[in-house]
């Protein structure tokens, strides 16, 4: 090893290979059989359970946990997949602390919810390890649907449509399926190439074809899709990134956090990934946390998350904040970037403290500099190149009901559509519900 956390600038291999391997293993180890039984036994089997209400995909959580407790994790998995075909990934990446586990009555009772996420993983892993796909495709209907984007929304939509017997073609701009599951999730949440394994397993339903490297508005047009298919579902996510609007944004060392995360996920050898000695991540969402934690795990000496509002307003959950803090990430709240300093490459970030009045954030005039040879922007993604003729709402595709857009025969879901939180699980719910609506519409015709 030639480098260390103290190597100046941006450099690869700051940690020995063993340390890197250790840092990027499963964040939460899977439960073994006995642990799962113990965890499952804590579920009270609540009446009209609050955890179900809190789950965007309405998984019958008490039922699947009871099925685990009685030694039938396969049945548990079917309960999960019935509502959420990406239940395996959601078990890994859902912010359960703000969803099902926050609603768990054990959280109210003792501050320790039933470990719903890990139990879900236990059940789904059991079935996926067997390579069994629990659903059968209905007889082919002859109807065809185009799905744009092989991310969570598109995959969930495609799977549900395929189950109903329709033929689905998914178009994705990237060379691999999975969307943010493949490119946007922290590595330690999806180890062992899980995202690809999950897609392979999902496709066993049959009736789904994926065309890679095929971007909307480029290789394929909206008009063509509308002409060639009985329905179109748009689930292409948010391809654009907000600009920092700070001076010096173009200096070397300033990059998008999503790009950093994607590079990390695609890397075969973590020791080839360069990371700064002093990393500053700007933003307050999950992307900011994922980028910050992984920078630290790659061996950055100092990693700082700069957020312009207070801790309470931070979109990333307290759990995620604590995770980052436990890895040695420093948080600076109520501060915004003014200028990336440096001569060619970034060396520091000039910041200004803020005060928040209602929705507006104003600088106080007090500034400070923090060393920064790498600045990762995680200040939100934007819809990139929405097809013409689609009504937008707040920069996203406007939808009503189960994902219906302003264009007849065109549905949308996931991050690119208005409404709902930008979560994998929300995207799955939207894709699934749109599929049911599409199924109803095209079956009528």
- Give whichever of 34 and 359 is closer to other proteins, judged by the CB atom: 34
Tell me how far the alpha carbon of residue 140 is from its chain's centroid.
32
Minimum gap (Å) between residue 230 Cβ and other proteins: 40
Chain-centre distance for alpha carbon 406? 26
The distance of closest approach from Cβ of residue 125 to other proteins in the complex, given in angstroms and rounded to an integer, is: 22
Nearer to other proteins, 40 or 286 (CB): 40
Rg, the chain, Cα only:
22
Site map 60..99 versus other proteins, x via CB under 8 A: ----------------------------------------
CB 106 → other proteins: shortest distance, Å? 7
Count of residues near other proteins by CB under 8 A: 16
Least separation in angstroms between CB 86 and other proteins: 28
Asked if 396 and 421 touch (Cβ cutoff 8 Å), the reply is no
Nearest-angstrom CA–CA distance, 210 and 217: 17
Query: Nearest Cα to 374, choosing from 302, 268, 286, 429?
Result: 302
Smallest distance, other proteins to C-beta of residue 104, A = 9
Work out whether 33 is an interface residue with other proteins (CB under 8 A): no
- For the segment 34-53, give every residue that binds other proteins (CB under 8 A): 34, 37-38, 41-42, 44-50
- DSSP output for 247-273: BTTTSBTEEEHHHHHHHHHH-S-GGG-
* Given 27, 105, 338, 398, the residue binding other proteins (CB under 8 A): 105
Region binding other proteins by CB under 8 A among candidate stretches 31-39, 221-229, 251-259, 392-400? 31-39
Instruction: State the nearest-atom distance from the C-beta of 54 to other proteins, in Å.
Output: 12
Residue whose tokens read 């598109």:
154
Cβ proximity to other proteins, 114 vs 257, nearer residue: 114
Q: Which of 1, 21, 30, 109 binds other proteins (CB under 8 A)?
A: 109
Instruction: Note whether 318 binds other proteins by CB under 8 A.
Output: no
Is residue 65 left, alpha or beta, with left meaning phi > 0 and alpha meaning psi from -120 to 50? alpha
Cβ(178)–Cβ(195) under 8 Å?
yes
Find the shortest distance in angstroms from Cβ 41 to other proteins.
Answer: 4
Is 277 a residue that touches other proteins (CB under 8 A)? no
To the nearest whole angstrom, how small is the minimum distance from the Cβ of residue 44 to other proteins?
A: 5
Kindly tell me which of 105 and 332 has the beta carbon lying closer to other proteins.
105
Tell me the C-alpha distance between 185 and 179, whole Å: 10
Cβ distance to other proteins smaller for residue 31 or 90: 31
Nearer to other proteins by C-beta: 59 or 225? 59
Q: How far apart are the first and last CA of the chain?
A: 65
At residue 101, the 3 state secondary structure works out as helix
**Residues within window 319-338 making contact with other proteins, judged by CB under 8 A:** none
Return the exposure string of 237-272: e unless at least 16 CB atoms fall within 10 Å of the residue's CB, then b. Answer: bbbebeebebebeebebbbbbbebbbebbeeeebbe
Spatial separation of the C-alpha atoms in residues 78 and 85, rounded to whole Å: 9
Distance CA 133, CA 171 (A): 23
Please, which of residues 137-166 interact with other proteins by CB under 8 A?
none
Q: 18 or 48: whose CB is closer to other proteins?
A: 48
- Is 274 buried (19+), middle (13-18) or exposed (0-12) by CB count in 10 A? middle
Binding site for other proteins (CB under 8 A): 34, 37-38, 41-42, 44-50, 105-106, 108-109
């Amino acid at each position: 090893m030639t480098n260390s956390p103290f190597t100046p600038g941006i450099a690869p291999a700051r940690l020995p290979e063993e340390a890197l391997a250790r840092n990027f293993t499963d964040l939460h180890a899977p439960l073994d059989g006995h642990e799962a039984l113990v965890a499952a036994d804590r579920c009270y089997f609540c009446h009209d359970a609050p955890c179900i209400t809190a789950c965007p995909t309405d998984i019958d959580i008490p039922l699947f946990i009871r099925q685990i407790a009685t030694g039938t994790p396969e049945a548990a998995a079917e309960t999960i997949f019935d509502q959420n075909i990406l239940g395996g990934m959601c078990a890994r990446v859902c912010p359960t602390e703000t969803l099902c586990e926050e609603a768990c009555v054990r959280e109210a009772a003792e501050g320790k919810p039933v470990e719903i996420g890990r139990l879900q993983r236990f059940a789904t892993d059991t079935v996926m390890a067997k390579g069994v796909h629990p659903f059968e495709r209905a007889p082919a209907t002859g109807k065809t649907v185009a799905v744009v984007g092989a991310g969570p929304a598109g995959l969930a939509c495609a799977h549900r449509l395929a189950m109903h017997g329709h033929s689905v073609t998914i178009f994705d701009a990237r060379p691999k399926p999975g969307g943010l599951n493949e490119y946007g999730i922290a590595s330690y949440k999806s180890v062992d190439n899980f995202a690809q394994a999950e897609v392979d397993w999902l496709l066993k339903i049959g009736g789904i074809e994926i065309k890679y490297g095929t971007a909307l508005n480029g290789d394929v047009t909206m008009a063509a899709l509308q002409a060639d298919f009985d329905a179109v579902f748009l689930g292409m996510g948010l391809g654009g990134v907000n600009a920092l609007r700070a001076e010096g944004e173009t200096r070397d060392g300033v990059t998008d956090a999503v790009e950093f995360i994607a590079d990390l996920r695609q890397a075969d050898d973590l020791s080839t990934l360069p990371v700064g000695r002093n990393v500053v991540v700007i933003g307050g969402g999950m992307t900011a946390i994922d980028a910050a934690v992984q920078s630290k795990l790659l061996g950055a000496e100092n990693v700082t998350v700069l957020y312009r509002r207070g801790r309470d307003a931070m979109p990333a959950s307290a759990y995620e904040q604590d995770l980052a803090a436990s890895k040695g990430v420093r948080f600076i709240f109520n501060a915004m970037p003014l200028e990336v300093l440096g001569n060619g490459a970034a060396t520091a970030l000039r910041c200004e403290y803020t005060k928040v009045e209602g929705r507006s954030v104003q600088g106080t005039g007090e500034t400070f500099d923090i060393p920064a040879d790498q600045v990762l922007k995680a200040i939100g993604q934007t819809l990139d190149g929405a097809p013409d003729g689609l009504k937008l709402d707040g920069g996203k595709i406007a939808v009503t009901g189960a994902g219906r857009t302003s264009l007849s025969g065109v549905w949308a879901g996931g991050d690119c559509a208005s409404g709902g939180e930008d979560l994998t699980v929300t995207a799955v719910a939207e894709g699934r519900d749109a599929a049911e609506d599409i199924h109803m519409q095209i079956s009528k015709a």
